Structure 1
């Protein structure tokens, strides 16, 4: 076949032709001029960014008859032989199809042989990450101490798969994705030199679809040339790349702003009939709103726009949509894009996304709503009236003179525990009953939590049984409010009684008391018992307490359970 693809015809033959990799080409050019080339290089980066082309240019430059130079002359016998592939001293090895150790050893066996016609024998190993572990081990020793006349250039798109022992023996250069501006500039040069008719906006569409790869961009340009009749137009580029036309994006943006769901779904239906990819459509819509946000915030940076074109519909729409709405649009679209990656029903996610975007609250319309404006006006009037009343408000002395004296309002009464019932419990209190209740108290809290009675359980977290008789017990609370709430909670009282009856066989009533009042009531009870000559059943049961009272008196003793 006489026809060759554009990316083959226009493959870079000098470092100046390698687009968007100045950080690599400048370093290599300086090393060539100073004759400080390394024995091994590692070129890594995305596809179509110039790794293999740069390797061949470097092979020509080190073997050029005009060395030292920064660019190969492409005229001497060495450069021409390397360009047409007839020079046997520049060996290209495809690791993707020759990954076994036997094939690598066959290549390395010839390393020690001197080059035939040029100063350096150059080995270009493409897709080096595809080599097996054994092949890497075979390469390792030679790569560490190669002969002086050998240079290795390794190229890969996945450097993380290469052993660190290999990487550490190479000078590594990371090729980056080429910017859309650089791709457009290179395509413009190629199309002009090739005599192609083209629309510059079409080249921008192709450059964005190439995603940073020069080879992909030239392949798409080749397709667009074949698709078009007289010249490459924007419609041709959109058809080849699968992108969405600006008119549809404007139509969808207007439908979202106007909350016109049928209009948005009709536009989507038309795009799907044209065979557009849902994932590419979402990406185009995200970039469209991204460009709208940049245009609103920095209108002078027109060259920063990636997807949108500054037509009349776009500029008009960008003036009425608020930045806050654009933030929400992009956020919803981004979430939809992530969900579509893991679904076989991408169109359904896309339709739901458009409905959601159309139903978003339009803050601009709310701000301009007449009823809202009336409400704001009424609020302003009320604020002014309140301010006027505060200024004309009489002083405290004037109010006192103008109004008759009133009796002070009764202060709210504090919660008081049932002292009589507590004393009855203390009169018949036994340590055995108290220990019985205490031993089951933790089980009671667990039971309340398991029955979804967490609020009731929270009331008892800081409470503990303080005294118990055969038919009742005193529950001491740390906080007064908790005590009052527990005593007034009839369901809680009933639950506690049922649980204790089930566990101990006795039906206990309980009386709550705050911690401060418990100390006063208990001290008063002990004092009364001392005056009556009876220290209570609980105290008489313990001989140590009785002996202590004889020694120091009951007034100086405080008994704690």
Structure 2
């Protein structure tokens, strides 16, 4: 028999994590003020059906004391209900019997007859939201005015799908997921009953995986206990469950925070070599990043999510070295890339791409190496960890132009003086970073366009013009198509905070011609941009 069947609560006091509901129902039973219809809603595996069965036993128990809400669990009525043999407690799976005919035959007609041996006839309708509209309508009258000997208990995981006319006729109790500390004590109690010691790290993973659902947690514990070991360590547990080693999770997050691409890729490759489930690992990384984010927001919940002092110290250190904005971007990337694992030829590839992208963005916006200082400080935007908002940065000082170009630029300068607009120039590092983010945004919208953009290359960035190089003429035609061109330039303008002109050239055969055309038409493009127009 499954472990969650063996340890299923048989009394109100054995139900965990639902104290407010247990207290109310216990008072109703002891005072004799039992409702005629109840609605239990909440996540799966938190005790809705179990509570309904305990109510049925308490109402029909022959040996229950007046001031005690708990059934004796020894009389014939309690034993029959516990074993599912009572003819006066009818459990119906609404997911399998959705029609109005079944409701009329098994509920409405049956409710008219008095109980055979018990004091009450109890109808427990599980997944009640699956009933059809006709079935709900047929049930309304009986649910509103049932016979005195009938009690209805409706259970559902999706109460929002129920008609309001049904909800209003019931006493509604909302069950919630069980808190981490309560569920951990419950699992430790079960493990002790089974004469087994389970490591706290394993229990922490079970609780995280179950999402606070007791049945799921006990089922996972049962799966681990099937190993026959009396001391369950993480090494034993990972043979039965896809556990992600915490040290690898922490090491990867630390490497990403430090923008260490080599260390990050080495960790991922090590996990791939030993057959680690990348979906589970990314879920673990996402969970750890969430803890860091909660710590940054000074949320009181985060210490309860940590199993050791070492992990707590790690979180406190990491939260100081990464901004909330960058951390949220990393979490968004993890969620997005996780969905790509099934489509990837290599399971580790989406995570590797995310790591390279995340670390590359930070490295690309950092201080330039000493060997590149000849380019001037105006070409590099210095940041420590937070992304730079382009609109908040003063425009870099213009570099003195050769005498031959001075005459040409004076025309544009005079026009700008007339219209009263200050020239804003593109920053190469920011443009290349925002370009990668633009490609990522388009992945779900236009895969064919993304394919072309990934094969393209930014060859030059001059003032407000980005020159893009592609391999084939039809790639250029696609990018220069009016709707596509407008969409790209609008998205770039939104990201960079400045109007952008996009020029596309073909690598083979026409590079010189396109460069010449770019030089000849550059003045016209600047004039059009100064007036807020575009060249068509």
TM tier, smaller: 0.5 to 0.7
* Aligned position for 2:313: 315
1:204 aligned to 2:201?
no
Give the aligned partner of residue 215 of structure 2: 215
Q: Assess if the C-alpha contact under 8 Å between 2:38 and 2:170 holds in 1.
A: yes
Quote the Cα distance in structure 2 between the aligned partners of 1:320 and 1:153.
Answer: 49
Offset, 1:237: 3.5
**Matches of 2:90 and 2:299, distance apart in 1:** 52
Does 1:353 pair with 2:351?
no
* Partner residue, 2:116: 116
Task: Give the deviation of 1:49 after TM superposition.
Answer: 0.6
Residue of structure 1 in register with 2:385 after alignment:
none
Question: 2: distance between equivalents of 1:128 and 1:98?
Answer: 10
Distance change (3 Å), C-alpha of 1:224 and 1:343: closer
User: What corresponds to 1:272 in structure 2?
Assistant: 272
Q: Which moved more, 1:353-362 or 1:141-150?
A: 353-362
Task: Tell me: CA distance 1:320–1:81, structure 2 relative to 1, closer, same or farther (3 Å).
Answer: closer
SS in 1 for 2:289: helix
Structure 1 unaligned blocks of 5 or more = 376-414, 416-451, 453-488, 493-561
Q: How does 1:401-550 map to 2 (within 5 A)?
A: none
**1:86 alignment partner in structure 2:** 85
Counterparts in 2 of 1:178 and 1:315: CA distance versus 1, 3 Å: same
- Contact 1:257/1:362 (<8 A) preserved: no
Retained in 2: the 8 A contact 1:61–1:69? no
Deviation at 1:150, TM superposition (A): 0.1
- Indicate which of 15, 40, 43 corresponds to 1:43: 40
Aligned to 2:254: 254
Specify whether residues 228 and 246 from structure 1 end up closer, same or farther in structure 2 by C-alpha distance, changes over 3 A only. farther
Q: Which has the greater radius of gyration? A: 1
**TM-score normalised by length of structure 2:** 0.62
Contact 1:35–1:68 (CA under 8 A) maintained in structure 2: no
| 1:475-517 CA-partner distances (Å, limit 9, x unpaired) | xxxxxxxxxxxxxx9xx9xxxxxxxxxxxxxxxxxxxxxxxxx
| Match status 1:226 vs 2:223 | no
Q: Identify the residue that residue 76 of structure 2 maps to in structure 1.
A: 77
> Aligned equivalents of 2:254 and 2:58: distance in 1?
56
Separation in 2 of the partners of 1:320 and 1:51? Answer: 40
The alpha-carbon deviation at position 97 of structure 1 amounts to 1.6
What CA deviation, in whole Å up to 9, does each residue of 1:182-210 have, x standing for no partner?
21111111111121232122111111110
Within the candidate set 317, 326, 329, 1:328 is matched to: 326
Q: Deviations over 1:415-440 (max 9, x none)?
A: 9xxxxxxxxxxxxxxxxxxxxxxxxx
Matched with 1:476 is none
Q: How far apart, in 2, do the equivalents of 1:234 and 1:64 lie?
A: 45
Q: Structure 1, residues 78-116: CA drift from partner, whole Å, max 9, x if none?
A: 222211223211111111222222222221212111112
Name the CA shift for 1:197/1:344 in 2 (closer, same or farther; >3 Å): closer
Q: How many residues align?
A: 370
RMSD, matched Cα: 3.4
- Determine the C-alpha separation between the residues in 2 that align with 1:26 and 1:181: 20
- What is the CA–CA distance in structure 2 between the aligned matches of 1:228 and 1:273, rounded to whole Å? 28
Unaligned stretches of 5+ residues in structure 2: 378-417, 419-485, 487-526, 531-536
Q: Deviations over 1:353-376 (max 9, x none)?
A: 11133335389x97xx9x99xx9x
Q: State the Cα distance separating 1:279 from its structure 2 match.
A: 3.8
- Which structure features the higher share of helix residues? 1
Distance 1:59 1:261 in 2: 60
Task: State the TM-score, normalizing by the size of structure 1.
Answer: 0.59
Instruction: For residue 311 of structure 1, report the CA deviation from its aligned partner.
Output: 3.0
Q: 1:341 Cα shift? A: 3.5
Report if aligned partners of 1:246, 1:309 keep a CA contact under 8 Å in 2: no
Q: 2:9 aligns with which of 8, 12, 15?
A: 12
CA pair 68-113 structure 1, distance change in 2 beyond 3 A: farther
